[in-house]
Amino acid sequence: MSDTASFAERTAGLERLYSTRPLIRAVNFHNASVAKVEQYDRQLTQYSQFFSSVNQDELEEYLVTGQWHKPKPGLIVSIYEGYRNGYDVLLPLVEKHGLIGWFFVISGFVNADVKDQLSFALSHDIDMLTREYPDGRYAMTWDEIRKLDRKHVIASHTRSHTQLSLLPPATMEEEIVGAQEQFKKHLGHSVRAFASLTGPAYGEHAPTDKLVNAAGYDFVFSNFRIQRIRAKHS
């Protein structure tokens, strides 16, 4: 499904995929305002009644076999960008309801000096509609991400949240491979899942595919798909 596909072409393509591939539910969070904590709590309360957590091994098994082995359908709770409020606001709720958070972190946002984080966000399509931290730190710290890494999933959301297909090769490498290097440095291991701003899905942009392979990611998340592109530890 290319960027230029028409509405009819895209829906027809998705209809074929829905008819022939396993499906999984996900809920996408971004800038989790503390003012909406009760709303998020209600939402996750409902979801946890009906859906089960999903970790990386469970996702991999499901991708391979199409079989889901928990009594309730799986739900991937995706928390994007690496906002500090993902840690402060959403994490306690995710854990309260027995779910697993998939934290898609923009490494450059986390690496930015606190005084520069707001301007980094504003110049990298990171929404800052609500700004609730007077100290100016809007991104998680690597210490917080290491704590998340013990029970939840840390994933790469590129280095600086730019549209990959528009970048020159060297910059694209920094976004994909360079981000993975940051996770290795700060977590002590590579991360398995990768998502970029607006995709592309694996197979839609060859230069991106090549770098995703080089970085050693196992899963590619895009707007409509999760693709397993590499076996674990291969």
Rounded Cα distance between 143 and 84, Å, is 12
Strands (E), 83-222: 101-105, 153-156, 193-195, 219-221
Query: Which residue's CB is nearer to other proteins, number 67 or number 170?
Result: 67
Closest distance between other proteins and the C-beta of residue 86, in Å? 12
101 binds other proteins (CB under 8 A): no
202 binds other proteins (CB under 8 A): yes
Applying the rule CB under 8 A, the residues between 213 and 232 that interact with other proteins are 221, 223-231
Closest distance between other proteins and the C-beta of residue 15, in Å? 5
Q: By rule CB under 8 A, what string of x and - marks binding of each residue 162-201 to other proteins?
A: ----------------------------------------
137 binds other proteins (CB under 8 A): no
Three-class DSSP category at 108: helix
Tokens of 79: 């928390």
Q: By rule CB under 8 A, what string of x and - marks binding of each residue 45-74 to other proteins?
A: -xx-xxx----------xxxxxxx--xxxx
Applying the rule CB under 8 A, the residues between 107 and 136 that interact with other proteins are 127, 129-130
| Residue 82 dihedral angles phi and psi, to the nearest 5° | 95, 30
Residue for token digits 């939840």? Answer: 152
Q: Are 192 and 218 in contact (CB under 8 A)?
A: yes
Closest distance between other proteins and the C-beta of residue 188, in Å? 25
> Could you check whether the bond before residue 22 is cis, i.e. omega within 30 degrees of 0?
no
Q: What DSSP assignment string belongs to 4-21?
A: T--HHHHHHHHHHHHHHS
Sort 138 into a burial class: Cβ within 10 Å, 0-12 / 13-18 / 19+.
buried
Tokens of 105: 């972190």
Closest distance between other proteins and the C-beta of residue 185, in Å? 27
Q: Are 227 and 201 in contact (CB under 8 A)?
A: yes
Query: Which residue's CB is nearer to other proteins, number 183 or number 221?
Result: 221
Closest distance between other proteins and the C-beta of residue 205, in Å? 15
Which residues would be at the binding site for other proteins (CB under 8 A)? 1, 3-11, 14-33, 36, 39-40, 43-44, 46-47, 49-51, 62-68, 71-74, 76-77, 127, 129-130, 202-203, 221, 223-231, 234
